[in-house]
Amino acid sequence: MTVHDLQTMAARGEKIAMLTCYDASFAKLMEAAGVDVLLVGDSLGMVLQGATDTLSVSMQDMVYHTRSVAAGSRHTLIMTDMPYGSYEASPEEALDNAQQLIAAGAHIVKIEGGGHMVATARHLVAHGIPVCAHLGFTPQSVKQLGGYKIQGKTEDSASQIMADAEAMSAAGVCLVLMEMVPAALAAEITRRIAVPTIGIGAGADCSGQVLVIQDLLGIYTGPADKDPGSFKSPRFVRNFLQESTSIQEAVSRYVQAVKSGEFPSVAHAY
Ligand code: KIV
Ligand code: NA
């Protein structure tokens, strides 16, 4: 599997199945289950470290988990999040940090935001680094966005996300990931831009889907300092373990449900 294959899959209409992965055991299991891309997400700040958001995750954390995932997979693409504070200050600093993630085993790095991040994406691509742009709800800006909220609901914000997706595509990114945007907007962006799209809470018409593995297994009950009973899963989550007898089966069912277009359903979309 290469970065180029993502484009080939999207072109022939085969959905891309992506899951977050933070260690070698899950990498091996996911590879066997046919997951196309392993995302070493900075969601590990929440699901592994118990934080309330992703802002405290460090480069060192991301390098460590990328190495672990790379050690457990032989031919699956690995995409690693650039953590908060590692790419915003300048394209040069972003390149330096992206190179560390690539050296740790990532094939693609993901950055959040459009606007002035377009120049950073272009700089990384010019230096041979495959980039994914994360648009819509961008968790590293949760404080600015005022909570875990759907983005692109107004005409202005929808056109902004569309413009960012087009600018990122023109900058040479290999994927555009959209989180918590209306299904119709994600579908329109997927039709318009040349690169494959990945959705999470973005409807069924993206080129592929991603979920946090803990959400798929029903084991994320909110940050460590909160009562598990007080946490409500976002609407785009589906517990695949409930309908399976093993973790392997749950992951395989997720892959099949993404490939067949059965997941996400309208109930998981905005
Ligand atoms: O960190 C993460 O898990 C992510 C996905 C939710 C897209 O960025
Ligand atoms: Na992330």
pLDDT in tens, 170-227: 999 999 999 999 999 999 999 999 999 999 999 999 999 999 999 999 999 888 888 8
Cα(58) to ligand 2 centroid in Å equals: 12
What does the pLDDT read at residue 267? 93
pLDDT, tens digit, 9 for 90 and up, residues 35-56? 999 999 999 999 999 999 999 9
* Residue that wins the pLDDT comparison between 228 and 80: 80
ipTM here:
0.99
**Residue of 30, 141, 200, 233 to mutate, ligand 1, most atoms within 8 A of C-beta:** 200
Residue at token pair 């085969």: 14
Structurally, the chain folds into a number of domains equal to 1
What does the pLDDT read at residue 226? 87
Residue at token pair 């309208």: 266
Please, which pLDDT band fits residue 92 given cuts at 50, 70 and 90? very high
What does the pLDDT read at residue 224? 84
- From the CA of 112, give the closest atom in ligand 1: 8
What does the pLDDT read at residue 248? 98
What does the pLDDT read at residue 12? 96
240: CATH: 3.20.20.60
Alpha-carbon distance of 152 to 158, in angstroms, equals 4
- Residue closest by Cα to atom 8 of ligand 1: 41
Alpha-carbon distance of 189 to 10, in angstroms, equals 14
Ligand nearest the Cα of residue 43 is 1
pLDDT, tens digit, 9 for 90 and up, residues 246-255? 999 999 999 9
Q: Out of 31, 92, 155, 179, which one is annotated catalytic?
A: 179
For residues 104-131, average pLDDT: 98
Per the structure, the complete domain to which residue 238 belongs is given by 3-268
Tell me whether residue 179 is one of the annotated catalytic residues. Answer: yes
Cα(20) to ligand 1 centroid in Å equals: 7
What does the pLDDT read at residue 41? 98
- Residue closest by Cα to atom 2 of ligand 1: 41
Nearest to 18 by CA among 254, 198, 210: 210
What does the pLDDT read at residue 183? 98
- From the CA of 210, give the closest atom in ligand 1: 7
Sequence-distant (≥ 6) Cβ neighbours of residue 207 within 8 angstroms: 6, 9, 10, 15, 16, 190, 196, 197, 198
Sequence-distant (≥ 6) Cβ neighbours of residue 110 within 8 angstroms: 39, 79, 80, 81, 82, 131, 132, 133, 134, 177
What does the pLDDT read at residue 115? 97
pTM over 0.90: yes
For residues 12-27, average pLDDT: 98
- Average pLDDT score over the chain: 97
For residues 85-97, average pLDDT: 98
Residue pair 68/22 in contact by the 8 Å Cβ criterion: yes
- From the CA of 198, give the closest atom in ligand 1: 7
- Where does residue 28 rank: exposed (0-12), middle (13-18), buried (19+ CB within 10 A)? middle
How many other CB atoms sit within 10 Å of the CB of residue 225? 8
Cα(139) to ligand 2 centroid in Å equals: 7
What does the pLDDT read at residue 229? 87
What does the pLDDT read at residue 152? 98
